[in-house]
Structure 1
Amino acid sequence: MKKSVLSVLTFFVLALMLSAQGKTIQLFNGKNLKGWEVLNGTAEYKVVDNEIVGTSKMGTPNTFLATKKEYTNFILEYEIFLGRGLNSGVQIRSHSTPEYHNGRVHGLQVEADDSPRKWFGGLYDEARKGWRYPLEYNPKVKTAYKQGQWNKIKVIASGNRIATWVNGINCTNLYEESVETGFIGLQVHGIGKSKDKAGKTIKWRNIELTEVPDDYEFKTTAPAINYALNTLSQEEQANGWKLLWDGTTTKGWRGAKRDDFPDKGWSVKDGILTVHASGGGESEHGGDIVTTKPFRNFILEVDFKFTEGANSGIKYFVDTNLNKGTGSAIGCEFQILDDKNHKDAKKGVDGNRTLSSLYDLIRGDAQEYIPSLYTKKYVNKGGWNRARIVVNGQKVQHFLNGCKMVEYVRGTQQWRALVKYSKYKDWPNFGEAEEGLILLQDHGDEVHFKNIKIKELD
């Protein structure tokens, strides 16, 4: 009797789950491009043998084949065959509106990447926010992509959560700051004047979508990366993350040279903490702010946005008793700088004062750790960037937008040699404290902060 009741209950639960999902539809009928439209560029899309074939072309920007219908919450599955050396992707929840750069396609993209960096299946925000989930957050899945073969992709978007799978392997687990409704779009990436890439093809087939509710539950194995405003996901809370700033008050912070929070120079509005411009001087207006408690071993994340020509920083191992005179409090610094428009980028040694660097000591350069990258650093100019600082004993790492930029070990002969030839040479045992405060710098320029969170390590 008990088994019978359980069977009925199991059937009822499964029926409810299935009824919550919509009917699976074929976005591509295998015959023509009905229901789709070409946006932005002039690369060609055509149907061949039940496949959509996009061909790369010189002299055109990115070209997208977009669904005319928009979707919010769904399971999207498709197969893709990517030509050697090409970059492509599939847009989800994306947009093309006259008011945004004259209709330029923008929104979240499931990356299709045939380059040595192997970020196939990562999540990139096209023409807007930049990288949201590069596979440096989950490097063990870089082998999921099969070069020169058909690859099966699965995407689940439910509420503000998006996850991707490549050939059955979960690659990403992203919590976005908002829920969007938009089209699905296939991309033929612009190739500029690269003759060797002209005429190469990207193919898609078996493109199907099932709409789901916004509270659709699903399991992932990929690490959670969260951009929801000043909010921790359940996964983050379970893994020991805590908000270092609550998004509304100044609780937990004080001025570096005072016992309370500065009464000028800083403001809190709409979940954003802002240090205001005051002429570019170092700690001359509101002054630096620091946490009210010290930290020893931790992972710190801070989202920041700098204005044109701005200078600031995130410091750690700060001891506010070291410098009670003019200037900033003393500590190791993750440099925040507009490299293009601030003169400090050309000072120091070998770029060690540029964005993400360990200020005046070690240059921030992702190519040192990810040699296949196209650039030394991915920077969302004019937008939000994410700093991550990892301290585990004497070992320290800086990350910018998911990419490692700096790694060093404190207290070694090499460390002390670096300090000896830096601006910190006069501070005894600089950077070797077991613990210290965390600091956000007032350097007289307008810089914004949000999503300040920390995970303390054993």
Structure 2
Amino acid sequence: MNYYRTSLLTLILCLSLFTAIAQNTDELMFKPLFNGKDLSGWVDVNTSPDTWKVEDGILVCSGNPIGVMRSDRQYENFILEIEWRHMEAGGNSGVFVWSEGTPFKDNPLTKAIEVQMLELAWAEQHNQTDAYVHGELFPTMGMTAIPDNPRGIRSKSLEKRCKGKGEWNKYVVVCVDGTVKLSVNGKFVNGLRASERKKGYICLEAEGSEIHFRNIRLLELPPGITSEAQTAPLVD
């Protein structure tokens, strides 16, 4: 039953995207969120001036202190493409979508949907089962959503498709009307739906280890029917 429901949601999502593209051919295009030169378009929330820097067109994150950097505006429906590579075995990081763009109470991270980026050695280093892999999707800080492939409140990737330390990976994250679908290196392997929030900031995460990002770009899609309660508060 869950398989057919997920397949139907995917079909509806694809039809919505094709309709939007057909109706807005001249307006819809991918635009860079990172220009490869500086941090224009991004706001350091709670890290440090040394956490983020640009080297040879690559966004380098030292991982410390733990915290986030957010987009300078909110996004609702979109397709995000992002390439990343961990530089340390067992590295941990991620990108947050529909985020509040601020730390949550005493936690340095933010209320959002997290798209996790784990280096392959993380599970072994932390004595986790083989089922705990990169590309998990989950709501953070009390936010709610329904996982396609449940592991508690999280949704786990159905295939291991990431490359290890020092190698580039590509995520395509489709976010439409409370549904998130994740492609890892060319194949959709995970999803969740019914997100409590459907509009908010995009955040990159520093979580203790060096990670590099490049080719971050976004195709913004037409908005849906999103209430004030489903929209993250604006950050001054």
Please report the TM-score for the alignment, with normalisation by the length of structure 1. 0.38
Q: Is the 8 A contact 1:20 1:213 kept in 2?
A: no
The residue number in structure 2 matching 1:16 is 22
CA distance in structure 2 between the partners assigned to 1:119 and 1:132 by the alignment: 19
Output aligned runs, 1:316-327, within 5 Å. none
**2:140 is equivalent to residue 126 of structure 1:** yes
Structure 1 pair 171/101, CA: closer, same or farther in 2 (3 Å)?
same
One of 69, 85, 91 as aligned partner of 2:90: 85
| 2:134 aligned counterpart, secondary structure | coil
Amino acid at match of 2:97: I
CA distance in structure 2 between the partners assigned to 1:124 and 1:80 by the alignment: 19
CA distance in structure 1 between the partners assigned to 2:20 and 2:78 by the alignment: 18
**2:53 is equivalent to residue 46 of structure 1:** yes
| 2:76 aligned counterpart, secondary structure | coil
Amino acid at match of 1:172: N
**2:39 is equivalent to residue 33 of structure 1:** yes
CA distance in structure 2 between the partners assigned to 1:135 and 1:56 by the alignment: 28
Structure 1 pair 96/104, CA: closer, same or farther in 2 (3 Å)?
farther
**2:62 is equivalent to residue 55 of structure 1:** yes
Output aligned runs, 1:250-261, within 5 Å. none
The residue number in structure 1 matching 2:202 is 184
Following TM superposition, by how much is the alpha carbon of 1:131 offset from its aligned partner in structure 2, in angstroms? 8.7
**2:160 is equivalent to residue 151 of structure 1:** no
CA distances 1:68-121 after superposition (whole Å, capped 9, x unpaired): 1110100000100023211100011101358x5278522111100122244312
Structure number with higher relative contact order (C-alpha < 8 Å, ≥ 6 residues apart): 2
| 2:84 aligned counterpart, secondary structure | strand
| 2:199 aligned counterpart, secondary structure | coil
The residue number in structure 1 matching 2:216 is 207
Q: Is the 8 A contact 1:77 1:209 kept in 2?
A: yes
Q: Is the 8 A contact 1:39 1:105 kept in 2?
A: no
| 1:90 aligned counterpart, secondary structure | strand
**2:150 is equivalent to residue 106 of structure 1:** no
Following TM superposition, by how much is the alpha carbon of 1:169 offset from its aligned partner in structure 2, in angstroms? 1.6
> Structure 1 regions of 5+ residues with no counterpart?
1-12, 192-199, 216-458
> Structure 1 segments of 4 or more deviating over 6 A?
none
| 2:22 aligned counterpart, secondary structure | helix
Following TM superposition, by how much is the alpha carbon of 1:17 offset from its aligned partner in structure 2, in angstroms? 4.8
Amino acid at match of 2:193: Y
Structure 1 pair 15/211, CA: closer, same or farther in 2 (3 Å)?
closer
The residue number in structure 2 matching 1:96 is 101
CA distances 1:231-288 after superposition (whole Å, capped 9, x unpaired): xxxxxxxxxxxxxxxxxxxxxxxxxxxxxxxxxxxxxxxxxxxxxxxxxxxxxxxxxx
The residue number in structure 1 matching 2:68 is 64
The residue number in structure 2 matching 1:73 is 77
Following TM superposition, by how much is the alpha carbon of 1:138 offset from its aligned partner in structure 2, in angstroms? 5.4
The residue number in structure 2 matching 1:161 is 179
Q: Is the 8 A contact 1:111 1:119 kept in 2?
A: no
Structure 1 pair 214/50, CA: closer, same or farther in 2 (3 Å)?
same
Amino acid at match of 2:51: E
| 1:16 aligned counterpart, secondary structure | helix
Following TM superposition, by how much is the alpha carbon of 1:124 offset from its aligned partner in structure 2, in angstroms? 2.2
Following TM superposition, by how much is the alpha carbon of 1:132 offset from its aligned partner in structure 2, in angstroms? 5.8
> Structure 2 regions of 5+ residues with no counterpart?
1-18, 124-129, 225-236
Structure 1 pair 40/124, CA: closer, same or farther in 2 (3 Å)?
farther
Identity of aligned residues (%): 26
Structure 1 pair 209/127, CA: closer, same or farther in 2 (3 Å)?
same
CA distance in structure 2 between the partners assigned to 1:163 and 1:75 by the alignment: 10
CA distance in structure 1 between the partners assigned to 2:92 and 2:145 by the alignment: 14
Q: Is the 8 A contact 1:21 1:211 kept in 2?
A: no
CA distance in structure 2 between the partners assigned to 1:89 and 1:139 by the alignment: 14
CA distance in structure 2 between the partners assigned to 1:158 and 1:201 by the alignment: 30
Following TM superposition, by how much is the alpha carbon of 1:182 offset from its aligned partner in structure 2, in angstroms? 1.2
Amino acid at match of 1:23: M
CA distance in structure 2 between the partners assigned to 1:178 and 1:74 by the alignment: 17
Which structure would you say has the larger Rg?
1
Amino acid at match of 2:137: L
Please report the TM-score for the alignment, with normalisation by the length of structure 2. 0.70
Output aligned runs, 1:218-257, within 5 Å. none
Give the count of matched residue pairs: 189
Amino acid at match of 1:25: K
The residue number in structure 2 matching 1:306 is none
CA distance in structure 1 between the partners assigned to 2:20 and 2:55 by the alignment: 39
CA distance in structure 2 between the partners assigned to 1:138 and 1:87 by the alignment: 16
CA distance in structure 2 between the partners assigned to 1:36 and 1:167 by the alignment: 25
Q: Is the 8 A contact 1:160 1:178 kept in 2?
A: yes
